[in-house]
Structure 1
Amino acid sequence: MTVLLVALVVVLVAALSVWLAATANRLDRLHVRTDAAWAALDAALARRAVVARAVAAAIRLDDVSADRLRAEAERAESALREEREGAENRLSLQLAGIDRAKLPLALTAELLDAEHRVVIARRVHNDAVRDTLTQRRRRLVRWLKLAGTAPSPEYFEIVEPSLSDSASAPLPRPSARVLLFDTERRVLLFNGHDPVRPETKFWFTVGGGVEPGEDLRSAALRELAEETGVKLGDDGLVGPVWRRRVAFSFDGRTYDGEEWFFVADLADPVHVDTSGFTELEARTVDGHRWWSVEELRATEDTVYPVQLSHLLPEVMTKKWDGTVRTVR
C-alpha cells in the first residue's frame, strides 16, 4: 500500500512538473508574441506619422492647421510609451479633419494604407495582450509566479478610423462621471464590453453622456441615480476634480470624449440598483463591484482611467482645492 501511495505521489508530482513547465513555456511564447506585436504596431504608427507629415506638407491647409498636424505627428513619433495613446489619438483627430479630396491621389492611397496597417496591427497586438493576460490571470500561474519578472502587457487603446469613410470626424461626447466611494473607502466600478468586440472587457466608473442643455453636475447626479439608484443633492458631489480627454470607438462609432469626474462619499451601505440602465447599458455592462486601491493596483484587468489606482489616494485623503486635474 505504501509503495502504491509513493508511486501515486511520484506520478502526480511528475504530472504537475510537466504542466508547470508547459505553462511557463506557453507564457514565455505569449510574451514573445506580445513583444513582436508591439514592435509591429510601433512600426505601423511610425509610418502613419511620416505620412501625416507628408500630408501636412502637400495639402493646401491654412498655416495653423498644417502646423498643428505636423506638430501632432512629431509628438506621436517622440512620445514615451505611457504617453503614446494620447499622442496617437490627437494625431487621429487631426487626420480625421483633413479634406482628403484635396490630397494628391497617391498620397490619399498611402494615408489610407497607413491607417489600415495601424488598425490591423493594433488588433493583432490587443489580441496578443488578451491571450497573455488570460493565461497570467490563472490562479496557479499567479500563486506560483510562473510569469516570472516579465511585465504585464497592456492594451493599446486608440480610436480606430472609419476606414469606409475616412473623412468622417469623431463625434464630440462630453460626459460626467462619479468616483463613488462606499463606507469602506472602496470605489464602485462597472465591468463591460464593446458590442463590436465582446471579448474585450474593461472596468469603468459610474457616469455617462451629458444631455443637451444639461450642466455637468446635473448630468453626474442623473447618471448616478440611473446607474446605481443612489440619489444625492447638489452638495453630495465634490468637483469636478479630474478632466480626461480621450478618443475612443464604441459600437462601431468613433468619439472625441471629454470626461469630467466628481467625487461622492456614501455615509451608509447601499444596494447598487441597475434597473435604470438604458437598453444599450443592459446589453454591454456585465457586472459591478467595489474596489479598494490595493485591489486596483494588483489587478491585471483593464481599468479606465488608466491612472485610477495611482490618483485615488490623493482624492481620498486630501480636501479638494478647486483645481481640476488632467488625467488619462
Structure 2
Amino acid sequence: MAAKSKLAYVEKIENGGIFREKRGKGFRYICEGVKVTDTVTLNRIHRLVIPPAWKEVWICSMVNGHIQATGIDAMGRKQYIYHTEWVNQRDKRKYHRMIQFAYALPKIRLQIEKDLSRKGLPKEKVLALIISLMERTSIRVGNNTYEKLYGSFGLTTLKDKHTEIKGSDIKFSFKGKKGVYHDINLRNSRLARMVQRCKEIPGKELFQYYDDEGKRQSIDSGMVNDYLKEISGEEFTSKDFRTWAGTVKAFLAFKELGCGGSESEKKRLITEAVDKVATKLGNTRAVCKKYYIHPEIITSYENGALQEYFDQLDAIEEDDNYSDLTKEEKIVLSILENK
C-alpha cells in the first residue's frame, strides 16, 4: 500500500528519526544529537498535533514516511500517527472490505443457523449464539483486558447478572466501553431459550460451553473472531458486523428522516441520522461517522441519490430466509457497488 500511495514504508522506527525532549513548559526536537531548528520540519511536527502527555515520542525524519510519529500514552500503550495518505488508502481498503463482507454474510449466516441447531452447548453453538446476538443488538464483542482495567463489558465478558430473561424477551444491562451504561432489549424466543441455558451453566460468566469431555470452558473474543474466519474463509472479525450494521442503519435512518430540502436542512438531518446510529451502536457521533458508516451513504444522501434507492427498497418483497441478505442490506450493497 505504501508504494501505491507513493509513501516510504517505515520498518524500524527505533533507528534514526527525531526525538522529542521536554524543555521548560514546552518541547525541543533532537535529530542525530542536534537540535532541530529548520522551520519547515518544525511546522510539520506541529501539524502532527502529538499529544503533550505522550512519552518516548519519536518522529519520522521523512516527510513521506507512512508512520509519522509514535509515543507512549498515559496508559502505557504505544500509539501511532500515520501519514494522511496512508490513512486515506487504508480507509478505502476498509470500505471495499465491506462489499466483500456483504457477499460473505449469507454463507456466514447459513453456518450459524446450522451450529445453532447442534445439540447441547458445544463451543460452535455458543459462538454462533454470540454472533446472532451481536447481529441483532450491535453489542461489542468485548475483551478481558477492558473488563479488568475498566470494569466494562461486551458479549464475551458478560456475567449472568447482566441478563434478565422473561419468556421470549432478553434484557442486557451492563457498563460498556468508555463507561457508557446499556439497557438493550431483544425479543426472540429461540435465542432467549439458548441464553437461559447458558445462564444455567455453573459459574459467573454468561457464555461458556462444554468441551468433548463435558468440562465447562470460557469464551473469549479471540474465539469469536477465529470462528468467523473459519466459517467465512476470510479474515473477517466481529467489528465488520458493527461496521456493516452501522452503514445499513444509517441508510434506514435517512429513509425515515426524508431527503430534506436546503443544504442546512440536509446537514441537520445528517447529524440526526448519525446520532440515531451512534445511539444504537453505543458510540459517539464522531466515532460513528468516521468508523462505522460507509462515507458513500452520506455522500449519496447529500447529492440526493438515495431517493432512488428508497423507492427500490419499498418495491422489494421481504425475504423470510434469514440466512440471505435482508432487503435493506441488498439495497445498501447495490449502493456501495455502484459508487
TM-score (norm 1): 0.27
Q: Which has the higher strand share?
A: 1
TM-score normalized with structure 2 length: 0.27
